[in-house]
Amino acid sequence: MSTEIPATVNADEVTSWSDDVDVVVIGFGIAGGCAAVSAAAAGARVLVLERAAAAGGTSAMAGGHFYLGGGTAVQQATGHADSPEEMYKYLVAVSRQPNHEKIRAYCDGSVEHFTWLEDLGFQFERSYYPEKAVIQPNTEGLMYTGNEKVWPFCEIAAPAPRGHKVPVPGDTGGAALVIDLLLKRAASLGVQIRYETGATQLVMDGPAVTGVMWKHFGETGAVRAKSVIIAAGGFVMNKEMVAAFTPKLAEKPFVLGNTYDDGLGIRMGISAGGATQHMDQIFITAPAYPPAILLTGIIVNKLGQRFVAEDSYHSRTSGFVMDQPDSAAFLIVDEAHLANPEVPLIPLIDGWETVEEMEAALGIPPGNLAATLQRYNTYAARGEDPDFHKQPEFLAPQDKGPWGAFDLSLGKAMYAGFTIGGLATTVDGEVLREDGAVIPGLYAVGACASNIAQDGKGYASGTQLGEGSFFGRRAGAHAARRAGGAQAR
């Protein structure tokens, strides 16, 4: 693995082409799959190069949340009012540097995209899971998966649940169902897929991308294409890139990705002149919930200060933990609210009869934690939280000792994460140069492109599958139109 940018190949130097197609897609995860079927449905001749022995990529490991809204059939059936405008206001508010055009397209097209997904051959269950959880435990079709109910976002946009889960029980494998349906659709549309065949370099004719070099074990070749769509995942499995761009991910024990999330797609895009965005940003998390009762406690740093609303979505909380001194934090809960996390990712350090003993054991300056707890308890008793505006249902005085402390510190809690940054693109997935010009014939979608997800603090479960599938479709359709235009000329 390396951070090396592969050289591009000049089209004039290619002596023979193994294939001549309209669109070549690199990778068949959720984004590549949607791009391939959308291009083929629009009449393009499509070839997919997949490095792995099977389709799916990291998408196939996902639980199956799609972040969709604006008034989907599931939202309507479960009595949750939503509109493209409220969804837009929310996504703009949680984004570091909101791309208004992309967010607008995503929100305005969300209901249609929901229908398109179901037309592949499955249905989101018309049911709602009301608890604070990381993912629905069963097959419930809808739950809150972001910070919609968390201050200040709840005041900026009317909260609505938008985490639509594929009807597969449990927290992994839901998206694999969609991948299987995409494979069936691809086969019916005549999409060719070559497995164990990796793209290695882009072929260029002047400023335009006109093909891709491939490797299949000892064999190599070149595909001529009017457009190339890179859908090859993030870079979480590339130690050198992680160390260079996202050092916090290098410190933790567990990454969410598949073997081929090595950043090659991003590096190939850079080789053609592509710009990148948010490469230093990560999704990192060690959820403290469920059970939700733990969120009535307070989360403090090693100075004994609160720094985040405890009812935040888990990766928002974790993102703020990363910003604290030594990325250290503790969840403090009294005996009346103490429970074991359902998934033991945050270790219980110990219990103490007095707050003073707890301060000493945790290395918090004397009096700091006591003052923080006293302020929190005073207001919580009134159902108020002037400092972080936690929702009333998660407010409860922590005044019945003994007290327990869970360790949320990086290196102590079991953090998992993935990379978020990628190639800069238009709303149709065209890769952009630093000056904002489009690279003709090159697209990027999914985890190797930067779209709606920009950091862990603003993330909502379902964003990656949602935007990967949505912008994958747009890129496939746009690439097919481009090929049609090229044929007409």
Domains in the chain: ranges and CATH: 20-62+173-283+416-488 (3.50.50.60), 65-165 (no CATH), 287-407 (3.90.700.10)
List Cβ neighbours of 443 (8 Å cut-off, separation of 6 or more). Answer: 35, 227, 228, 229, 230, 425, 428, 429, 430, 431, 475, 478, 479
Strand partners, 299: 331
Distance in Å from the first CA to the final CA of the chain: 42
State the Cα torsion 327-462-263-281 to the nearest 10°.
-30
The encoded tokens of residue 43 equal 């009449």
Alpha-carbon gap, residue 35 to 229, rounded angstroms: 8
Q: CB burial class (10 A; 0-12, 13-18, 19+) of residue 190?
A: exposed
pLDDT of 352? 98
* The pLDDT of residue 488: 42
Return the structure tokens found at 207. 């400023």
β-strand partners of 216 = 219
Contacts with 344 (C-beta within 8 Å, 6 or more apart), sequence order: 414
Q: For strands 438-444 and 219-230, give the pairing.
A: parallel
Backbone angles phi, psi at 199, to 5 degrees: -75, 140
With tokens 């090659």, the residue in question is: 264
Are the CB atoms for 87 and 467 separated by under 8 Å? Answer: no
Asked if residues 462 and 292 have their Cβ atoms less than 8 Å apart, the reply is no
Helices 463-488 and 110-119 sit at what angle, rounded to 10 degrees? 90
Q: Provide the 8-state DSSP code for 11.
A: G
- One digit per residue, the tens of pLDDT, for the chain of length 489 reads 689 999 999 999 999 999 999 999 999 999 999 999 999 999 999 999 999 999 998 888 888 999 999 999 999 999 999 999 999 999 999 999 999 999 999 999 999 999 999 999 999 999 999 999 998 889 999 999 999 999 999 999 999 999 999 999 877 778 999 999 999 999 999 999 999 999 999 999 999 999 999 999 999 999 999 999 999 999 999 999 999 999 988 876 577 788 889 999 999 999 999 999 999 999 999 999 999 999 999 999 999 999 999 999 999 999 999 999 999 999 999 999 999 999 899 999 999 999 999 999 999 999 999 999 999 999 999 999 999 999 999 999 999 999 999 999 999 999 999 999 999 999 999 999 999 999 999 999 999 999 999 999 999 999 999 999 999 999 999 999 999 875 543
**pTM of the entire predicted model:** 0.96
Instruction: Name which of 91, 84, 224 is nearest 147 in CA terms.
Output: 91
DSSP state of 483: H
Q: CB under 8 Å to 76, separation ≥6 — which residues?
A: none
Q: Which amino acid is at 241?
A: M
d(CA 479, CA 278): 25
